[in-house]
Amino acid sequence: MKRKLGIAVFWVVVFLVVVPGSFAGESFDSGRFKEFIHQEMKFWNVPGAAILIIRDGKIIFAEGFGYRDLKNKTPVTTKTLFGIGSCSKAFTSMLLAMLADEKKIDFDRSGDSDQSI
């Protein structure tokens, strides 16, 4: 269980921190990005992943990788649903920390009812 949580948290960090910095140019090289995904999936032994990238409110990349069912070789698609369980807490914490970093919320203020996100 800890291994699965660690892998999930890793992917959150990769896609919220590493990917935007590494692929932040004006043009998005989907071929280079796909190579990166395949390399990381192999390294982390991840059987499948669905990835969506949005830039300026527009979808610039949406694709499934690998298999959602290894036994039956059922591929992951952009519509595949993954059971992430308690990993959603890590997603929420990371997003709140990003908002705090952008000064949109303040972790140090308390009891302020006029502060909005």
Q: Per the domain annotation, does 58 fall within a domain?
A: yes
Q: Per the domain annotation, does 9 fall within a domain?
A: yes
Rounded Cα distance between 106 and 116, Å, is 10
Q: What pLDDT is attached to residue 45?
A: 93
Each residue's pLDDT tens digit, 67-100: 999 999 999 999 999 887 788 899 899 999 999 9
Q: What pLDDT is attached to residue 64?
A: 96
Q: Per the domain annotation, does 117 fall within a domain?
A: no
Q: Give the structural domain span for 88.
A: 2-101
Q: What pLDDT is attached to residue 77?
A: 95
Each residue's pLDDT tens digit, 35-56: 999 999 999 999 999 999 988 8
